[in-house]
Amino acid sequence: EGWLSLSHMTADISMFPFKEWMKCEKIAIKNHKNELSDISHPQGPYLVRKTISRMIALTRGVKCEPEQVIIGPGTQPLIRQVLGMQRENIKAAIENPGYSRIYQLLKDMNFEVFPIDLDKKGIDIKKVEALNPHFLFITPSHQFPTGIIMPISRRIELLNWASASEGRYIVEDDYDSEFKYGTDNIPSLQSLDRNQRVIYAGTFSKTIMPSFRISYLVLPPDLLREYKRHFSYWIQGSNTLNLFTLHYFIESGEYAKHVKRMNNHYEMKRENLIKELKWKFRNGIKIKNVPAGLHFIAEFKTDKGYKEIEERAKKEKLEIYSMKRFNLLGNIEEGKKIILIIGFANIKNEDIPVAVDRLYRVIY
Ligand SMILES: Cc1ncc(COP(=O)(O)O)c(/C=N/[C@@H](CCC(=O)O)COc2ccccc2)c1O
pLDDT at 185: 82
Atom 12, ligand 1: residue with shortest CA distance: 175
Atom 20, ligand 1: residue with shortest CA distance: 9
Atom 7, ligand 1: residue with shortest CA distance: 75
Atom 2, ligand 1: residue with shortest CA distance: 175
Which residue from 130, 122, 193 is spatially nearest to 163, judged by alpha carbons?
193
At 267-288, the pLDDT tens digits run 999 999 999 999 999 999 999 9
Contact by Cβ (8 Å): 71, 55: no
At 310-335, the pLDDT tens digits run 999 999 999 999 999 999 999 898 98
Mutate which of 9, 102, 174, 321 for ligand 1? The one with the most ligand atoms within 8 Å of its CB, which is 9
140-168 average pLDDT score: 96
pTM greater than 0.90: yes
Greatest distance between any 2 Cα atoms in the chain: 63
Residues contacting ligand 1 via CB (< 6 Å) = 8-11, 74-76, 99, 101, 139, 144, 173, 175, 203, 205-206, 210, 215, 294, 325, 345
Q: How confident is the model at residue 87 (pLDDT cuts 50, 70, 90)?
A: confident
Angle, to 10 degrees, between the axis of helix 352-363 and the axis of helix 306-315?
140
Atom 3, ligand 1: residue with shortest CA distance: 175
Atom 17, ligand 1: residue with shortest CA distance: 9
Contact by Cβ (8 Å): 164, 158: no
Contact by Cβ (8 Å): 340, 298: yes
Query: How far is the centre of ligand 1, averaged over its atoms, from the C-alpha of 236 (Å)?
Result: 21
At 38-80, the pLDDT tens digits run 999 999 999 999 999 999 999 999 999 999 999 999 999 999 9
β-bridge mates for residue 78, sequence order = none
pLDDT at 176: 86
Mutate which of 75, 102, 137 for ligand 1? The one with the most ligand atoms within 8 Å of its CB, which is 75
12-30 average pLDDT score: 97
Which residue from 36, 62, 69 is spatially nearest to 239, judged by alpha carbons?
36
Q: How confident is the model at residue 162 (pLDDT cuts 50, 70, 90)?
A: very high
Task: Return the number of other C-beta atoms located less than 10 Å from residue 235's C-beta.
Answer: 9
Does the structure show a pLDDT above 90 at 89? no
Query: How far is the centre of ligand 1, averaged over its atoms, from the C-alpha of 205 (Å)?
Result: 7
Q: What percent of the chain has pLDDT over 70?
A: 100
pLDDT at 86: 80
Mean of per-residue pLDDT scores for the chain: 96
pLDDT at 29: 98
Q: Which atom of ligand 1 is nearest to the CA of 295?
A: 25
Does the structure show a pLDDT above 90 at 168? yes
Does the structure show a pLDDT above 90 at 194? yes
Query: How far is the centre of ligand 1, averaged over its atoms, from the C-alpha of 39 (Å)?
Result: 27
pLDDT at 1: 80
The predicted complex's ipTM stands at 0.98
Q: Which atom of ligand 1 is nearest to the CA of 139?
A: 1
Does the structure show a pLDDT above 90 at 240? yes
pLDDT at 184: 81
pLDDT at 183: 84
Query: How far is the centre of ligand 1, averaged over its atoms, from the C-alpha of 74 (Å)?
Result: 9
Query: How far is the centre of ligand 1, averaged over its atoms, from the C-alpha of 199 (Å)?
Result: 18
Query: How far is the centre of ligand 1, averaged over its atoms, from the C-alpha of 9 (Å)?
Result: 6
d(CA 287, CA 361): 18
pLDDT at 46: 98
Atom 18, ligand 1: residue with shortest CA distance: 9
Query: How far is the centre of ligand 1, averaged over its atoms, from the C-alpha of 258 (Å)?
Result: 19
d(CA 180, CA 162): 28
Query: How far is the centre of ligand 1, averaged over its atoms, from the C-alpha of 7 (Å)?
Result: 12
Q: What percent of the chain has pLDDT over 90?
A: 94
DSSP 85: T
Q: Which atom of ligand 1 is nearest to the CA of 203?
A: 11
d(CA 214, CA 204): 6
Is the preceding omega at residue 140 within 30 degrees of 0, hence cis?
Answer: no
Query: How far is the centre of ligand 1, averaged over its atoms, from the C-alpha of 324 (Å)?
Result: 16
Atom 15, ligand 1: residue with shortest CA distance: 9
